[in-house]
């Protein structure tokens, strides 16, 4: 799951990003409306956490621009205001959800996860393959009843491969969907993560390498 946080308060932005990363999400951060809008239009984010009260390009305008451009990312709008009128205005601009500040991190994480599942309705809350069970909502995985201690990237790769239902997923797609914008497109990160994931999943192996194409369950 890939998330963009657009928040001008750097301390708040990093706190939100850290909380989401601990929930096994890949997170990019933009500290102003123009930078956030540019990133949102270039990258395929599942969810955009958008502060409404941004300087320069206001969050309302960013939201409107995303809708006008046909951006498929779900938008969770944050604001210090919490009146019914603000809620109606934000949703009327095209935001998918609205969360007033201050908020509890578990609530934010739950809202972001719910929006991501709406953005990819083919991914159910629980994915199964044989004795492997992946709880996409709770971000947990088990095989043969044994909990798997997966890193955020390992979990993201496994989730995407399972959701693809046997389709071969290219390394480039895994890098785009699971890693953030700091990832080097020429890195061996995907190959290394697949290798570690296979080791943690144990036998019999369930991830196949498709020569010159990618990986599949």
Mind listing the pLDDT tens digit for each residue in 52-105? 888 888 998 999 899 888 888 999 998 876 555 555 565 667 788 888 888 899
Q: Where are the domains of the chain?
A: 2-119, 126-216
The mean per-residue pLDDT over the stretch 132-161 comes to 91
Q: Is residue 189 predicted with pLDDT exceeding 90?
A: no
Summarize the confidence of residues 25-48 as an average pLDDT: 90
What is the per-residue pLDDT for 55? 81
174 CB contacts (<8 Å, ≥6 apart)? 157, 160, 190, 214, 215
Q: In the structure, what pLDDT confidence band is assigned to residue 130 with cuts at 50, 70 and 90?
A: very high
pTM above 0.85, yes or no: no
Whether the pLDDT of residue 121 is over 90: the answer is no
Looking at domain 126-216, which CATH architecture does it have?
Answer: Orthogonal Bundle (1.10)
The domain made up of 2-119 is a member of CATH 3.90.550.10: no
Q: Is the pLDDT of residue 117 over 90?
A: no
CA 100, 103, 107, 110: dihedral to nearest 10 degrees?
Answer: 60
Torsion of CA 63, 105, 54, 70, to 10 degrees: -10
């Amino acid at each position: 799951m890939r998330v963009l946080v657009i928040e001008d308060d750097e301390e708040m932005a990093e706190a939100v990003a850290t909380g989401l990363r601990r929930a096994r999400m890949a997170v990019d951060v933009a500290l102003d409306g123009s930078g956030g809008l540019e990133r949102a239009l270039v990258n395929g984010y599942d969810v955009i956490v958008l502060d409404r009260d941004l300087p320069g390009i206001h969050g309302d305008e960013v939201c409107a621009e995303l809708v006008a451009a046909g951006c498929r990312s779900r938008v969770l709008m944050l604001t210090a205001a919490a009146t019914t009128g603000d809620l109606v205005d934000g949703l009327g601009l095209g935001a998918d959800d609205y969360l007033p500040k201050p908020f509890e991190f578990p609530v934010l994480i739950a809202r972001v996860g719910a929006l991501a599942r709406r953005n990819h309705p083919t991914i159910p809350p629980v994915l199964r393959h044989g004795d492997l069970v992946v709880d996409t909502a709770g971000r947990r995985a088990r095989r043969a009843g044994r909990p798997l201690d997966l890193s955020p990237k390992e979990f993201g790769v496994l989730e995407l491969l399972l959701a693809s239902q046997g389709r071969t997923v290219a390394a480039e797609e895994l890098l785009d969907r699971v890693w953030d914008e700091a990832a080097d497109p020429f890195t061996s990160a995907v190959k290394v993560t697949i290798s570690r994931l296979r080791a943690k999943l144990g036998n019999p192996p369930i991830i196949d390498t498709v020569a010159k194409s990618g990986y599949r369950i």
